[in-house]
């Protein structure tokens, strides 16, 4: 037996669908609070010292957290080539906007304190706000468009054509999802600031975070209601070949008003995903309102992130990128993956290196455990920013 045949092709495809979700959740749960802190920066710090406190809570860890974004992009490229081709070329301007906003973060961190000028530093503070707000918004907008279907089509030779535009992405439902993403990550960033700061900064983060948690609950519920009443889902109408070639055109697909809820009807236990989204946000809200239980509050916001992102994946399965103009070209778990051998080699590599990433990240957080105090910033004792 050839080694990679130890795991069936359909099982490998399912494993990589789960791993893609884990990588996306890992990015949102780690780098997500960095983005949330950037969004909160101009509002929770009343002076330069307080804003430096805020920056120093994420300055030592944001680069390591962003590894999850690189891992996610690499996984899409290697495990789901058609998904990578459509999303990174058809959504090029959106990806470019995210990239430009993310570039503002390292530049802002490094250059903010190079000049002792209030205007200079305030300008970089707003640049860091943009570096947090824009990616959070566009990531959510992207998810909203995926749920509705993306305007791409495939020729018989599988050449991909994207017929949409950047401004076409900014439709009402997608913008709602974008606002949900901003609220969710702001809630998460506030939980991080509660854990890592004290005094006035922590108090302001607590107030803004409770509002963001409440907005997360409301927007998540509104998005689900809108999806139920006004968004058509996609349903495979032909027999699904789970071990067949990666050719999306070999199936037939129909639009169905309740298709995105079919998995919950078939397997009610999957409702745990949206339930965790609501319960985690409610737990974060209660923790931020009370100002106590800092670690449980942060974990509750992570639980909400897990639930909300999982809800999208569970609702759409087995679809990963539907096509709004040629439904049968929609990409699914069963027809958009790399080869059996490629998925197996990647799985072995992931099994080796992902635990190393997790272990190193855990060690870094343990070393950096503790609060960033205003007095330490004034004394210039051991903080880089």
For residue 353, is the peptide bond before it cis, meaning its omega torsion is within 30 degrees of 0?
no
Determine phi and psi for 322, rounding to 5 degrees: -75, 155
Burial of 273 (C-beta count, 10 Å sphere; 0-12/13-18/19+): buried
At residue 218, the pLDDT reads 97
Q: Minimum mean pLDDT among 96-110, 131-145, 172-186, 303-317: which range?
A: 96-110
pLDDT computed for residue 63 by the predictor: 82
Higher-pLDDT residue of 280, 353 = 280
Between 185 and 31, name the one with better pLDDT.
185
The CA-atom distances, in angstroms, between 339 and each of 14, 155, 243, 334 are 13, 21, 10, 11
Which tens digit of pLDDT belongs to each residue from 12-43?
999 999 999 999 999 999 989 999 999 999 99
Most confident of 44-53, 67-76, 86-95, 202-211: 202-211
pLDDT, position 375: 77
> Which of the listed ranges 78-87, 155-164, 236-245, 306-315 does the model predict with the highest average pLDDT?
306-315
pLDDT at 384 over 80: no
Q: What is the mean pLDDT of residues 319-341?
A: 93
Q: How many residues does the chain have?
A: 385
**Spatial distance between the Cα atoms of 191 and 197, rounded to a whole number of angstroms:** 10
Q: State the average pLDDT for the chain.
A: 90
What is the C-alpha separation between 187 and 206, in angstroms, rounded?
A: 9
pLDDT digit string (tens) for 109-158? 888 888 888 889 899 999 999 999 999 999 999 999 999 999 999 998 88
How far apart, in whole angstroms, are the C-alpha atoms of residue 89 and residue 381? Answer: 46
pLDDT surpasses 60 at 1: no
Instruction: Give per-residue burial for 167-178: e unless 16+ CB within 10 Å, then b.
Output: eebbeebbebbb
Percent of the chain past pLDDT 70, that is, above it, reads 98
pLDDT digits (tens, 9 = 90+) for 258-304: 899 999 999 999 999 999 999 999 999 999 988 778 899 999 999 99
pLDDT value of position 382: 62
Taking the mean position of all CA atoms in its chain, how far away is CA 266? 27
Return the pLDDT at 343. 93
- The pLDDT-based confidence of 3 (bands split at 50, 70, 90) is low
Q: What is the pLDDT of residues 187-233, one digit of tens each?
A: 999 999 999 988 899 999 999 999 999 999 999 999 999 999 989 99
Residue 158, token pair as written in the block: 């599988």
Query: Could you tell me if 132 and 34 are in contact, meaning their C-beta atoms sit under 8 angstroms apart?
Result: yes
Of the two residues 367 and 129, the one the predictor is more confident about is: 129
Of 275, 215, 273, the C-alpha closest to 21 is: 273
Structure tokens, 141:
């907008």
């Amino acid at each position: 037996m050839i080694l990679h045949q130890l795991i069936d092709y359909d099982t490998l495809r399912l494993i990589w669908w789960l791993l893609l979700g884990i990588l996306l959740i890992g990015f949102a749960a780690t780098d997500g609070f960095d983005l949330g802190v950037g969004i909160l920066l101009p509002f929770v710090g009343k002076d330069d010292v307080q804003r430096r406190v805020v920056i120093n809570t994420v300055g030592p860890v944001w680069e390591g957290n962003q590894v999850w974004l690189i891992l996610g992009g690499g996984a899409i490229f290697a495990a789901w080539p058609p998904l990578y081709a459509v999303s990174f070329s058809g959504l090029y301007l959106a990806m470019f906007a995210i990239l430009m906003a993310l570039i503002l973060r390292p530049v802002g961190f490094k250059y903010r304190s190079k000049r002792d000028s209030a205007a200079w530093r305030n300008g970089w503070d707003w640049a860091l706000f943009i570096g947090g707000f824009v990616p959070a918004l566009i990531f959510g907008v992207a998810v909203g468009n995926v749920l509705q279907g993306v305007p791409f089509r495939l020729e018989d030779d599988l050449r991909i054509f994207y017929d949409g535009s950047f401004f076409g992405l900014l439709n009402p439902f997608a913008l709602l999802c974008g606002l949900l993403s901003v609220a969710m990550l702001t809630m998460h960033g506030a939980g991080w600031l509660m854990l890592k700061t004290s005094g006035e900064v922590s108090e302001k983060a607590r107030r803004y975070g409770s509002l963001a948690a409440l907005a997360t609950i409301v927007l998540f519920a509104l998005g689900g209601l809108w999806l139920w009443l006004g968004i058509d889902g996609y349903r495979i109408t032909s027999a699904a070949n789970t071990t067949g070639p990666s050719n999306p055109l070999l199936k037939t697909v129909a639009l169905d008003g309740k298709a995105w809820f079919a998995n919950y009807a078939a397997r009610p236990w999957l409702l745990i995903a949206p339930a965790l989204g609501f319960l985690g946000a409610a737990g974060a809200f209660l923790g931020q309102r009370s100002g106590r239980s800092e670690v449980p509050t942060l974990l509750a916001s992570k639980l909400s992130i897990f639930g909300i992102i999982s809800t999208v994946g569970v609702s759409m399965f087995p679809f990963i990128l539907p096509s709004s103009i040629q439904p049968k070209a929609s990409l699914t778990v069963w027809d958009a993956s790399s080869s059996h051998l490629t998925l197996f080699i990647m799985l072995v590599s992931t099994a080796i290196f992902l635990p190393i990433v997790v272990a190193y990240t855990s060690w870094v957080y343990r070393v950096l455990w503790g609060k960033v105090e205003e007095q330490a910033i004034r004394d210039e004792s051991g903080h880089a920013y």
